[in-house]
Amino acid sequence: MGIFFKKNNTIENFLTMDSKISKMQSKIKASKDFHYGIYSKVIFFSIIIEIFLLSISYAKSLSCNTLVDNALCYVNSVVFSIIIYITIKLYRFLFRTLIKYYKNQLGELNFSLEKLLDDKKLQSDFDNIKKVMEKYERAIKKKENNNRVTHEHQPQQPQPEQLQKTPQPEKPEHPQYEQPQILNQRVHKNILSEEINTILGELKVIDSNLSNFKFLRSLETHQLDFLIINVVNCAVYFDNVSDDVKTISSLIVSKVFSQAYFDPNIPKEYIDKIELAIEKLYLIIANCKKHRHYQIEGAVSVFKDLAISLYKNKSNGKINDMVIIDMVWCSTLDLFEEFGSYLEVYNQLHYEIYYIICNYFHFTSDSIRSEHFKRFMDISKLRG
């Protein structure tokens, strides 16, 4: 139990970094909300003032006889419009600069967090904590079992009514461990706010269990279906879940995908289901104009996390199939080339697409790598 009482800089750094990222994401959202509120109010009141000035100018122009006098009556209205236009443009420029600065900071924090997650010491610390918690739970269960046995062996005076009744099997005092509901039922899009924490807790349990390759193979077919549907929806298709839920869902999807590629013992039926989900996410990137921005962000985040999972598991054996890797890599090349200037506004999305391009390069087939090598080098030079 000493691990809970000694200072652990690695875990403290992880928690501090995670807290900074959450605060930065909240700051970006609050800044955007504040900006759009001010922006809409300025436009609304500007229109009212402009109408008022036009009315005054029109009334003055009725008493003027020459064209020059009539034109001078509208000078105030024109000058006011120019001033408002310049002010709005300047305000939008300053706001976008501020948001871009915040997003750059967020990108750096995310990059630092990824480096921290790759730290073997952090992983070792979490494993130690997990082992200590397991020992603690076993000790509690042992104590409860001992108390129950002691209670059962205490002599009791039978009552007359009890002697006449047929003995009924005793119900267990402690319910058996229940699997996460996310494996047995579908999570609906209209999630209540009080359900978010429950879903997040279940996702953390699944994410922890996925470190063992046997967990995915141990699932029933319907449980795998619910797992894929629910985590993909939370990571990509739902826009009303918290950032924490989206982040851990993206990690779970990437781990499921990577195990389909590296685990030689996974059933063919499971691989087919997982590949179908991968293809659907690939189509979001390939046909990005037909999808919403948050869906593109979710799909890109999944494939970025998949690159990390591929690197962590590449020593386990040969990848089963590289076709989808080639397809995703080529689509991100197209996306970067076609929307490069647009993506710069969304710094995190821009960074993750570039991350996929650089890291999938090592997993693509030789023919695809050779065919698009010049495009890859051009993007590397442009970014670099």
As a 3-state breakdown, the chain gives helix, strand, coil percent values, each rounded to 5, of 80, 0, 20
Give one word for 317, left, alpha or beta, with left for phi > 0 and alpha for psi -120 to 50. left
CA 312 to chain centre: 20
Distance in angstroms (rounded) separating the CA atoms of residues 248 and 252: 6
pLDDT band at 106 (very low <50, low <70, confident <90, very high): confident
Higher pLDDT, 360 or 90: 90
Q: Compare 67 and 137 and report the one with higher pLDDT.
A: 67
pLDDT tens, 302-333? Answer: 888 887 777 766 655 445 556 778 888 888 88
Top pLDDT among 381 and 40 is at 40
Q: Concatenate the DSSP letters of all residues of 97-139 into one string.
A: HHHHHHHHHHHHHHHHHHHHHT-HHHHHHHHHHHHHHHHHHHH
Q: What tokens appear for 369 in the block? A: 């790598």
The CA distance from 182 to 223, in Å, is 8
pLDDT at residue 341 tops 70: no
Say what the pLDDT of residue 177 is. 42
Higher pLDDT, 154 or 291: 291
Reading the block at residue 140, the tokens are 């509690």
pLDDT 10s digits, 167-184: 444 433 433 445 677 888
Query: Is pLDDT larger for residue 256 or for residue 131?
Result: 256
Sign of the dihedral through C-alpha 350, 355, 357, 358:
positive
User: In this predicted model, which residue has the larger pLDDT, 75 or 228?
Assistant: 228
What's residue 174's pLDDT? 38
Q: pLDDT band for position 154 (50/70/90)?
A: low
Mean pLDDT calculated for residue range 93-103: 86
Q: pLDDT averaged over the chain?
A: 75
Q: What pLDDT was estimated at residue 6? A: 41
Q: Which segment of 41-50, 68-77, 166-175, 284-293 scores lowest on mean pLDDT?
A: 166-175
- Per-residue pLDDT, averaged over 56-76, amounts to 75
pTM, 2 dp: 0.49
Cβ atoms of residues 347 and 374 within 8 Å: no
> Please, what is the Cα angle at 381 between 378 and 384, to 5 degrees?
145
**Residue 154: helix, strand or coil by DSSP?**
coil
What percent of the chain clears pLDDT 70, i.e. is strictly above it?
Answer: 73
| Local confidence band at 241 (pLDDT 50, 70, 90 cut-offs) | confident
Tell me the C-alpha to C-alpha distance, in Å, between residue 371 and each of 144, 333, 377.
Answer: 65, 12, 12
